[in-house]
């Protein structure tokens, strides 16, 4: 490989408040949608059918939320517990520093700052917590990169206003953003608006605060498949909210930069049939749509036909289009886990699949234990496609492997499979840089074991640091360095030059 990673390349790791903090009812925090994401057990997989074969969905319907409130003891809700980062942040950040992190991506829990999402005044205890976290990062020379909303809309806004279906939620979001931008001015240089903004299609509850009636149904990849009108309206409002956040950021702290975040990138045709390739085009459009608006500042031409022929009408306020144009992002970030396979579905006007994982297998790729195809070359392809389309600096805000780890008596894990995944993806990122793609950093998803987003499992581990907790919160919560900890340290120390797994 001929690559050299640029000097000052931001190596690090990424997390989200709802998957690490716990302390869901401490420090004046209000409830968030993530507090209602149930653990997907093997029993649920068997009895309710495979929502998405390997990634059943943990969305909650109105009935489920009501019951979770009334009878919390009946439910396993691991995101309320996280891995205790609210209390262990010093120790955890010190471990990141030991690996040599230059950047730590984390999110602010909106309901820690505004318990209902739309309160008049912020909760000082919540603000003070993140002051301490950011100070701790800087003490170790780590730059925080902060996501404003990572799958945890305040529950009050979801229940009372239908989340981002309502402009009230947009106003509340902008007030929250203004508050944190002012408070952390000078401490946070890199901001992200919404995590995986395209996840509204598969994850409307946690992603956008949309609550629908009825239990999730079995044997469909997406319990709430359909609802296109609501989903596209909500995401229009989120894109306006995102643009307003960017505008505020530039006003309040001209030194700071704000980016976006997209997942689910590369689609391959199953065959050389033109029809399959057409399906790729359709599916690509449902992905590019979000970043086209956020990076280019206007609705792309191809959405008109989809909206028209599906009778979707987007309610816009007078200056929305102007706001979208003014509030384009400074940089683009992506999460990259896998690629997808497309087969023609015979529709003249396509619908998004809304799937988290492809239902058609790619026979050329190995898969993780959760059925996620592992595709390092797809990473290079994706990075080139994005740069070609937007010509904006790219940050990899997530990449990682969820696996079951066998810890020895001391909590040590020999995770060569994780090292192998990391090595192959970093190599391809290096190739993309050599291709000329402007990439300024890479954050491994879940550098410390955390609660899975899709299934709320603890046993699906991404970390280079083992956390002694099981799916139900049993264990000592002790942190132990895995083999990959030392590997990533070596990668960072050599600025990506030494990728050999020698030990
Ligand atoms: P988990 C699905 C597919 C790709 C990325 O996911 C996804 C999801 C949502 O489950 O989300 C991102 O934990 C997300 C993180 C999440 C990570 O990928 O389900 O931004 O919050 O933890 C990995 O294995």
Q: What is the CATH number of the domain that holds 122?
A: 3.20.20.80
Element of type H or E holding 324:
helix 320-326
Element of type H or E holding 67:
helix 62-70
Q: Which of 128, 112, 85 is nearest to 31 (CA)?
A: 112
Instruction: Confirm whether 269 is domain-assigned.
Output: yes
Instruction: Confirm whether 498 is domain-assigned.
Output: no
Residue 234 has pLDDT above 80, yes or no: yes
Q: What is the SS3 string spanning 342-368?
A: ECCCCCCCCCCCCCCCCCCCCCCCCEC
Angle at 296 between CA 250 and CA 207, to 5 degrees: 75
Residue 356 CA, ligand 1 centroid: distance in Å: 9
Is there a catalytic annotation at residue 124? Answer: no
> Does residue 391 come out as left (phi exceeding 0), alpha (psi in the -120 to 50 range) or beta?
left
Contact 208, 163 (CB under 8 A): yes
Give me the pLDDT at residue 222, please. 55
State the pTM of this model. 0.97
Mean pLDDT of 292-298: 98
DSSP assigned state of 373: B
Instruction: Confirm whether 41 is domain-assigned.
Output: yes
Residue 289 has pLDDT above 60, yes or no: yes
Contact 203, 151 (CB under 8 A): yes
Cβ count within 10 A of residue 475:
12
Question: Can you tell me which atom of ligand 1 is nearest the CA of 453?
Answer: 13
The number of CA neighbours under 13 Å toward the Cβ of 201 is 18
Ligand 1 atom 15: residue of nearest CA: 453
Angle at 378 between CA 403 and CA 374, to 5 degrees: 20
Confidence of residue 56 (pLDDT cuts 50, 70, 90): very low
Pocket probe for ligand 1: among 202, 336, 453, 458, the residue whose CB has the most ligand atoms within 8 Å is: 453
Is there a catalytic annotation at residue 398? Answer: yes
The residue with tokens 């979770």 is 68
Q: How many domains does the chain have?
A: 1
Q: 346: which 2 tokens? A: 């015979």
Instruction: Confirm whether 32 is domain-assigned.
Output: yes
Instruction: Confirm whether 502 is domain-assigned.
Output: no
Question: Can you tell me which atom of ligand 1 is nearest the CA of 400?
Answer: 23
Going by their DSSP bridges, the two strands 190-194 and 143-149 should be labelled as parallel
Q: What is the span of the domain harbouring residue 33? A: 10-493
| Digit-coded pLDDT (tens) for 186-213 | 999 999 999 999 988 888 888 899 988 7
Instruction: Confirm whether 5 is domain-assigned.
Output: no
Instruction: Confirm whether 500 is domain-assigned.
Output: no
| Digit-coded pLDDT (tens) for 136-186 | 999 999 999 999 999 999 999 999 999 999 999 999 999 999 999 999 999
């Amino acid at each position: 490989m001929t690559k050299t990673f640029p000097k000052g390349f931001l190596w690090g790791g990424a997390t989200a408040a709802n998957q690490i903090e716990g302390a869901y009812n401490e420090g004046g925090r209000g409830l968030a949608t993530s507090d209602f994401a149930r653990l997907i057990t093997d029993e649920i997989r068997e009895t309710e059918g495979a929502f998405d074969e390997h990634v059943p969905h943990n969305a909650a319907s109105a009935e489920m939320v009501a019951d979770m409130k009334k009878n919390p003891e009946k439910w396993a809700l691991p995101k309320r517990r996280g891995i205790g980062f609210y209390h262990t942040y010093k120790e955890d950040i010190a471990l990141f520093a030991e690996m040599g992190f230059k950047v730590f991506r984390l999110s602010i829990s909106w309901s820690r700052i505004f318990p209902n999402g739309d309160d008049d005044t912020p909760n000082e205890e919540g603000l003070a917590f993140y002051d301490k976290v950011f100070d701790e990062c800087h003490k170790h020379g780590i730059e925080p990169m902060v996501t404003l909303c990572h799958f945890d809309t305040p529950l009050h806004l979801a229940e009372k206003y239908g989340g981002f279906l309502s402009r009230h939620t947009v106003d509340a979001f902008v007030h929250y953003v203004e508050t944190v931008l002012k408070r952390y001015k000078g401490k946070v240089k890199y901001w992200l608006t919404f995590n995986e903004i395209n996840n509204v299609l598969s994850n409307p509850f946690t992603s956008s605060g949309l609550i629908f009636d009825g239990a999730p149904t079995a044997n469909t990849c997406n319990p709430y498949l359909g609802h296109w009108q609501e989903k596209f309206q909500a995401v229009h409002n989120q894109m306006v909210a995102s643009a307003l956040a960017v505008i505020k950021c530039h006003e309040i702290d001209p030194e700071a930069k704000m980016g976006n975040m997209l997942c689910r990138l590369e689609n391959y045709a199953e065959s050389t049939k033109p029809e399959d390739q057409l399906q790729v085009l359709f599916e690509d459009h449902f992905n590019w749509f979000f970043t086209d608006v956020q990076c280019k500042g206007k609705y792309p031409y191809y959405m008109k036909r989809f909206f028209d022929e599906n009778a979707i009408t987007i309610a816009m306020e007078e200056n929305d289009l102007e706001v979208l144009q003014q509030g384009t992002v400074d940089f683009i970030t992506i999460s990259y886990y896998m690629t997808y396979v497309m087969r023609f579905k015979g529709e003249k006007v396509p619908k998004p699949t809304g799937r988290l994982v492809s239902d058609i297998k790619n026979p050329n790729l190995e898969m993780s234990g959760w059925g996620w195809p592992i595709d390092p070359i797809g990473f290079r392809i994706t990075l080139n496609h994005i740069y070609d389309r937007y010509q904006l600096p790219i940050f990899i805000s997530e990449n990682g492997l969820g696996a079951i780890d066998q810890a020895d008596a001391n909590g040590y894990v020999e995770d060569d499979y994780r090292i192998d995944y990391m090595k192959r993806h970093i190599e391809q990122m290096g190739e993309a840089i050599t291709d000329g793609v402007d990439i300024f950093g890479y954050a491994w998803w879940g550098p410390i074991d955390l609660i899975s987003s899709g299934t709320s499992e603890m046993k699906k581990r991404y970390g280079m640091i083992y956390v002694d907790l099981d799916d139900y919160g049993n264990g000592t919560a002790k942190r132990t360095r895995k083999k990959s900890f030392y590997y990533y340290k070596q990668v960072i120390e050599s600025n990506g030059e030494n990728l050999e797994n020698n030990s």
